[in-house]
Amino acid sequence: MEDDHDHMHIHIYMMCWLLLITLPHSQSESSATFDYSVCKKQSYNCGNLSNIFYPFWGHNRSSECGSGDPFKLTCNHDHNTTSIRIASENFTVKEINNTAHTMKLVPADTVTNLCSPQSENGNESHTGLFQDSPSVQKIIIFYYCPRIRTFSYGHFMCGDDIAYYALDYDRIVVDYPQLLSCKRSLHTWSDAQLNFSVALEKVLNEGFVVNYNVSRVCQRCLGSEGRCWRDDIEKHVVNSCYYCQNGSHGLHCSPSPVKTTTSSMSLLFSFSFINSQLLNVLLIF
């Protein structure tokens, strides 16, 4: 009989121990969870850009409110401008239209130092998350080239060297095969009509429009007053819809208020389970 009592005490001690480790874990897990409700109020604001929301983040808008590194905005306080890095190139962001999912960009690295741009060849910059609008013109610039006596397109001086530029790569290298001997070529973009009598910097400063991708699942989430958050940065998988007005954390925001959080449900389940086990032990003994 004494062994039975000892056995019962062991069971009770084990249940109490489970209760003690469950409660702190739930509290700490709850306190460590990011409060996504702030993202509805926390917009990106810098210079002429204001009230910018998902998928963008940066400056005064937390990274948890955005869609990963590709959509990070950097505020230049000295000039009140915003930049974004796409692939290996920095772009100045002139406009963002959250409704149409478009933004207007200026190739900052190229414009700042047209003769020695820091960016790599930009023909791979717009893939996946960003797509050029139909109005965009792709400009090809050739550096460190042999002299061409008569060139029908655009050119500018870089010290003692001449750089040549045009729109159609395939055509221009046929018309001027000497360009294949150039040491470097660079693609860049503009929406402005390319006029070879106008300085190229001015054309590039007009900027160009790109479309950024927001998944259909996220669009449904946004349409129900939610805000999206991407869980998988590399694969661009959006599978979470957070901080609806009613507190829903579902894929599609619920029309009815959700009063019980996940952590409280877990805690309630733990209490119920432990109590039932204690009751079973007492009934047996």
CB 227 within 8 A of CB 257: no
* Rounded Cα–Cα distance for residues 95 and 89 (Å): 18
What pLDDT is stored for residue 219 in this prediction? 61
Domain ranges of the chain: 2-32+262-284, 87-213
What pLDDT is stored for residue 123 in this prediction? 45
Tokens of 19: 């209760």
Q: What is the pLDDT of residues 127-146, one digit of tens each?
A: 566 777 788 888 999 999 99
Q: What is the pLDDT of residues 58-104, one digit of tens each?
A: 988 888 777 778 899 999 988 899 999 988 789 999 999 988 889 99
| Average pLDDT of span 2-15 | 56
What pLDDT is stored for residue 162 in this prediction? 93
Strands (E), 127-264: 130-132, 137-143, 154-158, 161-166, 184-190, 208-212, 227-229, 240-242
What pLDDT is stored for residue 214 in this prediction? 72
| Average pLDDT of span 5-11 | 56
The pTM of this model reads 0.67
What pLDDT is stored for residue 177 in this prediction? 94
Confidence of residue 176 (pLDDT cuts 50, 70, 90): very high
Query: Measured in Å, how far apart are the chain's first and last C-alpha atoms?
Result: 10
CB 145 within 8 A of CB 155: no
What pLDDT is stored for residue 112 in this prediction? 86
